[in-house]
Structure 1
Amino acid sequence: MYELLDYEFMRRALVAAVFTGLAAPAIGTFLVQRRLALLGDGLGHVALTGVALGLLTGVAPIITAVIVASIGAVVIELLRMYARTSADVALAMLFYGGIAGGVLIANLAGENAATLNSFLFGSITTVSQTDLVIVAVLGLLVIALSIGLSPQLFAVCQDEEHARVSGVPVRAYSILIAILAAITITVAMRTVGLLLVSALMVVPVAASQQLTRSFRTTHLAAMGIGLIAALGGLVTSYEVDTQPGPTIVLIALAIFGVAAFAGALARRLRSRHPQVDLA
Structure 2
Amino acid sequence: MMEKLFLYLQYPFVRYAIIVGVLIALSSSLLGVTLVLKRFSFIGDGLSHVAFGAMAIASVLKLADKMTLILPVTILSAVVLLKRGHNARIKGDAMIAMISVGALAFGYLLMNVFSSSANISGDVCSTLFGSTSILTLTAGEVTACVILSLVVVGMFVILYNRLFAVTFDESFAKATGVKTDRYNLIVAVMIAVIIVLAMNLVGSLLISALVIFPALSAMRVFKSFKSVTVFAAGFSVICALAGIIISILAGTPVGSTIVAVDVAAFFVCFFSGKLIGGIA
Given the superposition, is the C-alpha separation of residues 180 and 129 from structure 1 closer, same or farther in structure 2, using an over 3 Å criterion? same
1:47 to 51, 55, 69: 51
Aligned to 1:8: 12
Deviation of the 1:78 alpha carbon? 4.0
Distance 1:22 1:156, change over 3 A: same
Q: Counterpart in 2 of 1:95?
A: 100
Q: Report the Cα distance in structure 1 between the residues aligned to 2:66 and 2:138, rounded to whole angstroms.
A: 12
- Inter-CA distance 63–236: structure 2 relative to 1 (3 Å threshold): farther
Match status 1:160 vs 2:170: yes
List per-residue Cα deviations over 1:70-129 (Å, max 9, x = no partner): 011112234325423211111011112211232233342624232233322223212232
Deviations 1:202-238 (A, max 9, x none): 1011111122121011111101111011110000011
Partner of 1:116: 124
In the alignment, the residues of structure 2 paired with residue 199 and residue 159 of structure 1 have an alpha-carbon distance, to the nearest angstrom, of 25
- The residue aligned with 2:29 is 25
| Pair 1:203 & 2:213 matched | yes
Report the secondary structure of 1:197's partner residue: helix
Give, as a single letter, the amino acid of the residue that structure 1 aligns with 2:72. I
Partner of 1:277: none
Matched residue, 1:181: 191
TM-score of the superposed pair, with normalisation by structure 2: 0.91
CA distances 1:28-58 after superposition (whole Å, capped 9, x unpaired): 1110110111000000000112222332332
Mapped contact 1:48–1:99 kept (Cα < 8 A) = yes
- The 8 Å contact of residues 52 and 61 in structure 1, kept in 2 or not, is answered as no
**C-alpha distance in structure 2 between counterparts of 1:63 and 1:12, whole Å:** 22
Deviations 1:229-251 (CA, angstroms, capped at 9, x unpaired):
11100000111110010100010
Runs of 4+ that moved beyond 6 A = none
**Structure 1 CA distance, aligned partners of 2:137 and 2:124?**
15
The Cα of 1:269 is off from its aligned counterpart by: 0.8
Distance 1:70 1:128 in 2: 24
SS at match of 1:83: coil
Q: Supply the RMSD in Å over aligned alpha carbons.
A: 1.6
**CA distance in 2: counterparts of 1:144 and 1:60, whole angstroms:** 26
The answer on 1:228 being equivalent to 2:238 is: yes
User: Which amino acid in structure 2 is aligned with residue 269 of structure 1?
Assistant: I
- Amino acid across the alignment from 1:9: F
Moved more, 105-114 or 234-243: 105-114
Q: Do residues 244 (structure 1) and 244 (structure 2) align?
A: no
**Candidates 253, 260, 263, aligned match of 2:270:** 260
Aligned residues of 2:83 and 2:181 also touching (Cα < 8 A): no
AA aligned opposite 1:246:
S
Mapped partners of 1:260, 1:233: distance in 2: 20
Match of 1:213, SS?
A: coil
Q: Which moved more, 1:150-159 or 1:99-108?
A: 99-108
CA contact under 8 A between 1:38 and 1:198: conserved in structure 2?
Answer: yes
How many angstroms does 1:252 deviate by? 0.8
CA distance in structure 2 between the partners assigned to 1:161 and 1:213 by the alignment: 22
Aligned AA (2:116): G
In structure 1, give the amino acid aligned to 2:126.
Answer: S
Which piece of structure 1 moves more, 112-121 or 90-99? Answer: 112-121
Please give the alpha-carbon distance, in whole angstroms, between the structure 1 residues aligned to 2:200 and 2:34: 23
Cα distance in 1 for residues equivalent to 2:170 and 2:83: 15
Report what 2:154 is aligned to: 144
Using the aligned pairs only, state the percent identity.
33
After superposing the two structures, state which structure 1 stretch, 155-164 or 79-88, moved more.
Answer: 79-88
- Structure 2 unpaired stretches of 5+: none
- Checking the alignment, whether the CA contact within 8 Å between 1:50 and 1:67 is kept in structure 2 is no
TM-score, with normalisation over the residues of structure 1?
A: 0.91
Question: Equivalents in 2 of 1:54, 1:8: separation in Å?
Answer: 29
Following the alignment from structure 2 to structure 1, what is the Cα–Cα distance between the partners of residues 150 and 57?
A: 25
